[in-house]
Amino acid sequence: MATHASPTATPSAPFDPSAFNLFAPDQLANPFPTYAQARRDQPVFYSPMFDMWFVTRYEDITTVVKQPHLFSSAEALESTDRLPEPVIELLKKGYLKFQSLVQTDPPEHSRVRAVFGKVLTPQRVAALEPGIRELTNQLIDAFVADGEADLIPQFAFSLPALTICDLLGVPRSDIDRVQRGNNGRQTLMGANSPVEVLIAAAHDYLEYQHYFIEQLERRVHEPQDDLLTLLVPAEIGGSAPLSLQEAVCNAIDLFAAGHETTTAMIGNGMSLLLDHPEQMQALREHSELLPNAIEEILRMEAPVRGLFRVTTSETMLGDTQLPQGARMLMMYGSANRDERQFADPDIFDIRRKDANKHVAFGKGMHFCIGSVLAKLEGRVAFELLLKRLPNLRRHPERPAVRRPNLILHCFDHFPIAWDREPAA
């Protein structure tokens, strides 16, 4: 049975771009009424607060991804323009310009993506399932007897983070080190922290770059059966058709994309299922529904709000004139609730026939190469959580906490409780 999610009635007042603030408590908790209001009134709009354009309709996002010559990914995600000069000077000691798969246009994009096409094949990912299942059970073992846990740090982060570490070839003992560097990069991307915080983040990010340089150089003489070995560029003795800078940047992107989206998906999915107990019970009784349920979770609560593009010339998008150099955020979370694309888009239905038409993992040439892995992790995670934690519920005293983040739609904390097994 399909049921409504949290209220998403579209406000009747005209949409006001100057009031658009994803970090406001009401929009952070439930941005979807605001998205619907924008789709209705100003589907492509400029936000003074964020100094960028937002694209909210499914059709317009499809138009953007099909025209990389007009809407470029290069330098769209990360730019040093907004960083203080001392931070920029510090970053010049490493790779100031980020060159990864996410931030390339054809023909470079095709060259880099071909490397990953040989690595993250469906067959290779499928072979990971036994290990993912074992790790999932180990993580649950650590707290199952407690009757309560914070789902995000105790489970939803560790499962994909440790999995991507194993896949890359990063020792699990180094996870705190690489996560510190990843957090530094996220802080720099926001560019709105005090200068001393940005300087500390820059130091962490530089150390992060050096870490992966060391790992890649080590594999020249000590190759392993891992992704980092396959990324070793020809310029330092490997075979990958990449520069060292590209190899480092893509390793950094793989770690981030390999765990952040799955962490968010597990938290968002748990929230949806707890709000719809009859559908949670259906999944307990019919595990064959899990693959489609994962698609519907991704549609309803996309882990990534969207990704950036920059216009290469003055152009029209729908009825909106965009200047050259306009920075845009394609709002995947809004497109997935577009009433022009999905019937009853605010209804959560794990049996929805077209759930997989979502754009939670992007669309076109930049469709996420790790989507198969993320879905596998999500399927195993929910199967075992629902099986092993009876009468699963939100913690009665500790509320969940959303993260105020422009890119990720996720929780930082999600306390849960369940019925403990009686002592023997």
Determine the Cα–Cα distance for residues 347 and 340; give it in Å rounded to an integer: 14
Q: Where are the domains of the chain?
A: 3-13+21-316+327-417
pLDDT value, residue 165: 95
First to last CA, the chain: 38
pLDDT value, residue 349: 98
pLDDT value, residue 1: 44
Q: What is the separation of C-alpha 228 from the centre of its chain, rounded to a whole number of angstroms?
A: 21
Q: Which of 8, 226, 174, 205 is CA-nearest to residue 95?
A: 205
pLDDT value, residue 75: 67
Superfamily of domain 3-13+21-316+327-417: Cytochrome P450 (1.10.630.10)
Q: What is the pTM of this model?
A: 0.92
Determine the Cα–Cα distance for residues 204 and 9; give it in Å rounded to an integer: 43
Determine the Cα–Cα distance for residues 215 and 157; give it in Å rounded to an integer: 23
pLDDT value, residue 80: 63
pLDDT value, residue 423: 57
Give the tokens for residue 265. 């998906």
pLDDT value, residue 193: 81
3-state secondary structure 108-126: HHHHHHHHHHCCCCHHHHH
Q: Which stretches of the chain drop beneath a pLDDT of 50?
A: 1-7
Greatest CA span in the chain, whole angstroms?
71
Per-residue pLDDT tens digits for 191-202: 668 899 999 999
